[in-house]
Amino acid sequence: MTFSRPRPGDLLAAAPTHAAAPAAHRTAATPRELYGDLFVEVQMSRVFGDGKSFVDARPRSSPALIRARFDVERRSANFSLADFVQTHFTLPAHAEAPTPQRGIREHIRALWPHLVREHRDAVEGESLLPLPRPYVVPGGRFRELYYWDSYFTMLGLVADGRRDLAEGMLANFAHLIETYGFIPNSSRSYMLSRSQPPFFFRMVELLHADDPAAGFAACLGALRAEHAFWMDGETDLAPGQSHRRVLRTPGGALLNRYWDDRCTPREESWREDVETAQASGRPHEQVWRDLRAGAESGWDFSGRWCADPADISTIATTALAPVDLNALLAGLEAAIARGAARLGDAATARAFDARSVARRQSLQTHFWRAEAGHFADLNWRDAADPRPLTAASLVPLYLGFATQAQADSMAAQVRRHLLGANGLLTTSLTTGQQWDAPNGWAPLQWMAALGLARYGQAALARQIAARWCASVERVFTATGRLLEKYDVAQDRPGGGGEYETQDGFGWTNGVYVGFQDVLLNGLPD
């Protein structure tokens, strides 16, 4: 795809161009903090089948008044918790999708306006964070701006002539960095303790495709602030130590992991997390931290994160340095170096180029499993732990950080273990979790296909893209729906996980459109 340079005056340039001293960033109270015992009772009693319903609700009066009324009314013999919630909150609704269009591309174009939201002003007691520009949500239960989803959605927006929305979403992410010091998992208060895979630099590159360095220069302050978030605590780490998202291996390599700054149940999945911890036989706070870290990964959930892939209670996300996260951070560091060089800041350019080179060397020494012939996550305390092949193993190819021999070996492993009738499997593990077999996800198809094509594996790249698009088309023809995930073995929606498969769906729409444009023009050889 070819994208033109943003016009002068774009909000992209509003991000500071030079790193400044850390600012005092805002926070926002979460539903658990606002509603106390009421929150716990609603979630543990399963008033709603989906715990996200309550945390997304809008109060009809102040949280303090609602809590006071709850404390009084709950003592009544005929008290109904469900009725109380209905009286005092406006519950979220799923947006109705437009009538299916004759063609899938026409339907996607009709979907974009239905997925646009705008929320400029904060409402007391509501979890939704205000943002300055309209944005596209994934769809279904996902009614807010999500971080890594948005990059793949933006692919389709730009291709479909909605560059205005893509630019506005980038401006919103810059605003989140300026306001909170990082980009949260989504624009909800209960997501302000974690982020998601760092795709902000890829968004900048997408919207400055004819001159990426100019985009990196314009957004250098935001890029550096995001990097500082991921690297917080790096200075004083000794080998074998960790702090939040950063760690040093016993050999001294500086790497990153997923994390969450809270070690309580996720507020949107409170009851599920309580039950998982109770079944684990492990310290509950550690289980909750690892569940939350798994949510930061975007892969919530997968046997990839578990000591026993079949048992979610063995989740140990924080014990792993993920291959995809570290490849993305090497890309972010390279982007910062390019932006600084464009601005004439040679010292910063040298420092971040050295960081990116060191991390790319770690991909070779810590994440490449020569005996298995593929990249994999690293158990940073136990390097001998054989981590499985997953679709994340292709992210180093996507970003250009593999050797040709590694890419050829990865292609062989994909054909042998991950290529399905309908595209790329997420993992070869069958666990009942949604980020495992037999499911396929749009962002993983995109990164795998473009990564393989980058290294001359165009035939395999086309197979992945064509098979996945054909499955999307067949399910659309049969159901009139575009879905969050698909079964890679059969023509049907993906399944598993904590909630029903959702309609919408932002990144499916974007990747489908992107693939159609790339396939029509020929994937790069």
Residues that are catalytic: 300, 484
3-state DSSP assignment of residue 325: helix
Name the β-bridge partners of 419. 424
- DSSP string across 351-371: HHHHHHHHHHHHIIIIIEETT
368-369 vs 374-375, strand pairing mode: antiparallel
Amino acid at 93: A
Burial 489-524 (b: 16+ CB within 10 A, else e): eebbbbebbbbebbbbbbbbbbbbbbbbbbeeeebe
Q: Which residue has the tokens 């079949």?
A: 310
| Residues written for the chain | 525
Cα–Cα nearest to 310, from 279, 269, 268:
279
Residues 520, 1, 114, CA angle at the centre, nearest 5°?
Answer: 90
How far apart (Å, rounded) are the C-alpha atoms in residues 151 and 158? 11
Q: What is the DSSP letter of 97?
A: P
Q: Are 290 and 311 in contact (CB under 8 A)?
A: no
Q: Are 250 and 321 in contact (CB under 8 A)?
A: no
3-state DSSP assignment of residue 424: strand
Q: What is the DSSP letter of 298?
A: S
Amino acid at 83: D
Q: Are 368 and 389 in contact (CB under 8 A)?
A: no
Q: Are 216 and 349 in contact (CB under 8 A)?
A: no
How far apart (Å, rounded) are the C-alpha atoms in residues 54 and 175? 26
The tokens describing 363, both together, are: 């991909």
Cα–Cα nearest to 272, from 63, 47, 46, 67:
46
Q: Are 459 and 451 in contact (CB under 8 A)?
A: no
